[in-house]
Chains A and B, each alone.
Chain A
């Protein structure tokens, strides 16, 4: 991204910079530009293509987009559904972006999410009925994190110990873990005639609708606060802690990190465990906040969509939250516009946004270049 002359609003003060090590205005501005421009351009491209698609169906783009907004942000139920879908996506988006910051492509958020949901449900089933929420909920949340971390740790350890590429391992693990959970639920734990477990005895989280009636009918629940807290925590971890300093160093230049006394393999394991834990936490939205049981295949691709969320969010926790809201809006909006155009249209739009952003994100370009170079070496 060249330093174009795009007239962004001038920074607050035009006074000469004090000679303190604070971010220079120019550095700040071009960093902002680099962070925001690709997603915005991608959005623009998607809108143009969307217009064309809508026109081929003989509908008016304006009409369709109005429906899309009305069906999502335009009414409390739609908004609640957007928040509900965004909650899971925040977790899986953070899981993918944390891996990317360490230079690892975590394709395994889907199975980490499932494992987290399963562990949360098992915890809720194991607890005695009537366990106070103040104990039960944190325990279930911890279980979700632990379940995801266990699945995430595997590719980390295999990479650190044997150099196994995390992309291959996480993809394979998706099949293994999902199949295992399918088997154990179907064979051992399912309520007869269903593919889900019994209801948890403790640890459920109330819905927003319970205190704000307007959200009635939507699945939105208070686990969204956990998601926002997780995003803040990830930011703090990456930018303020020594472990975060080392993790980012490994992601940018593993050789330099090694020179700086960082045990690169250890960082890989830690990063994948944390990523797994974050994805696993996504399970509480569905299990603690909505269904109150583990249902086979509840993930529905939210783990994979986490990749898109991380890319569009530029691997920044705040960006991930915004991107999660965006993709949740598209997903919910697809249902709202179904009357006029097939809801698959929003999937096409999603695909275009992902493609456009992915090709313009420096991290992705670097990863691609490096794995190409590795293949050649």
Chain B
């Protein structure tokens, strides 16, 4: 496809210049620029915390910039409201759905603009309008179904439909694929291309480079609040984009990081005789039966056998997983989010009941143990969502630093305030938590420092096995390095670490062995030496695992 030349005669769909936005002491945007031509699919990429969402929210009117200007369709709209943005045809599709589950698809879509006859809601017309819209856009969803019965992919289609129904011609999508399965992602691309061909403009926030290469016409890279690169997609490579995102040659173990599945994959170099599922189990069974690795009998291990865990939507969200993590190794679990990793970790941590299978911590069967017993047996857990699980935001740093160990920091039921304070002073210093005032509520800290509280708590405790779920999500680069160092140090001390991360580069940089989780199963378990981005990528998207090989 040809790019519209940057001629002044052609309207810019979006032109953001020199955008600055602070949240407290954190600069989310510092002079960010975005230039989007009409009728293009524009990818906005960058690491977590690069300021992509902030910039999009400013464009969509959720809050004004501290400095800089926003033009939409060549009109200065700096600091406008969401209402004005919607009226001007700018609509944002958020990462988290904002739908009413008990209403039907049609009712959700017309919500706020309900057709009515003599003051009464005209359901028939709403359904007709919505059906006409689905016909026109190719976004197929049954208008009469309740939203609560939709899959995630369908719910997202409803979100997009609603945005279009309100007249959006410039669509801003915030990480739309985070919760989608590969076929659903494929559908989404088809839909976005069709919208573009009908004259719409699409801005797509993502940090996955394969998606950029797949669907976008132009790409803008942001790093630490600034715009680094703007280039036509066909003129760049995933490696170049990765370099721009991170700001240096991606020297982590996976050299080309993130570029999963961008290039047509080479044939999978190993071709297990049986299914990959068998391969995963047999590979794992080896250490169990005492071969291969020289494991001292006292080394801490986490042994999981045939674990089945339900979620709200899926009775087998974890569908028979078997593995052993051994002291002195980092066992990485890669996979697209929503393939059972959350449920697996929660089951291991005691936050979710397994329907069958077993979990052993060393010699202890902890399958049915409550959280506290697992902690006392030496299990630590960095949860994936620090705001929901990992911290009590209103509690002070000091109080958060004993969460989960409050029974060890109390005497006869009374909290031991001196020890809590001493513990806080020590950990705040050791983990460089800022500001270094342990009486501040956790809410007052930046994301990276909040995560340091969690890490400090879980890694200073006397533990043998650590579950680390998305340990660096939403954390700035410096803190990432520090957290990675801590994980490596724990491995060197002989702890067993189970690492779950949505960032393939992170899994590859840290892990000794890597399992790929897809559809609730481990579709492959490979050693670090065997792993390449290509292989893992193909398993992650289900392209390899199901057919036992490539096309």
Contact = CB atoms under 8 A, between A and B. Distances in A.
Contacts of B393: 252-253
A377 B147 CA distance: 11
Contacts of B436: 19
Contacts of B417: 240
A270 B371 CA distance: 19
Nearest to A28: B439
Contact of A259 (B100, B381, B439): B381
B167 interface: no
Contacts of A245: 399, 406, 410, 415
B117 interface: no
Nearest to B425: A21
B389 A252 contact: no
A248 B410 CA distance: 16
A371 interface: no
Interface in A211-255: 240-243, 245-246, 248-249, 252-253, 255
Nearest to B349: A259
Given A24-B437, A256-B389, A242 B399 contact: no
A31 to B, nearest CB: 9
B437 A259 contact: no
B101 to A, nearest CB: 7
B392 A21 contact: no
B420 to A, nearest CB: 9
A20 interface: yes
Contacts of B389: 255-256, 258-259
Interface in A4-45: 17, 19-24, 27
A241 B388 contact: no
Contacts of A17: 437
B371 A258 contact: yes
A245 B394 CA distance: 12
B101 A246 contact: no
A263 interface: yes
B398 interface: yes
A240 B351 contact: no
Contact of A20 (B395, B403, B415, B421): B421
A249 B391 CA distance: 10
A376 interface: yes
Interface string B425-450: 10010000000111111000000000
B370 A259 contact: no
A255 B388 contact: yes
Contact of A242 (B371, B383, B410, B441): B410
Given A252-B392, A376-B101, A23 B439 contact: yes
Given A21-B421, A240-B415, A252-B395, A259 B390 contact: yes
Contacts of A22: 439
Given A240-B414, A241-B415, A261-B371, A21 B388 contact: no
A260 interface: yes
A23 B39 CA distance: 55
Nearest to B103: A376
A367 interface: no
A261 B375 contact: yes
B404 A261 contact: yes
A20 B101 CA distance: 49
Nearest to B401: A21
A53 interface: no
B370 A27 contact: no
A260 B406 contact: yes
Interface string B158-183: 00000000000000000000000000
B105 to A, nearest CB: 16
A257 interface: yes
Contacts of A241: 410, 413-415
A258 B351 contact: yes
A376 B100 contact: yes
B421 A246 contact: no
Interface of B: 100-102, 349, 351, 370-372, 375, 381, 383, 388-399, 403-404, 406-407, 410, 413-415, 417, 421, 424-425, 428, 436-441
18 contacts: A20-B425, A21-B396, A21-B421, A21-B425, A27-B441, A241-B414, A242-B413, A242-B414, A245-B406, A249-B403, A252-B394, A253-B393, A256-B388, A259-B371, A260-B392, A261-B406, A263-B370, A376-B102
Given A19-B436, A22-B439, A261-B371, 5 more contacts: A21-B438, A27-B441, A240-B417, A258-B371, A259-B404
Interface of A: 17, 19-24, 27, 240-243, 245-246, 248-249, 252-253, 255-261, 263, 376-377
List the 6 shortest-distance A-B pairs measured between CB atoms, nearest first: A21-B438, A261-B372, A242-B410, A261-B371, A260-B403, A260-B404
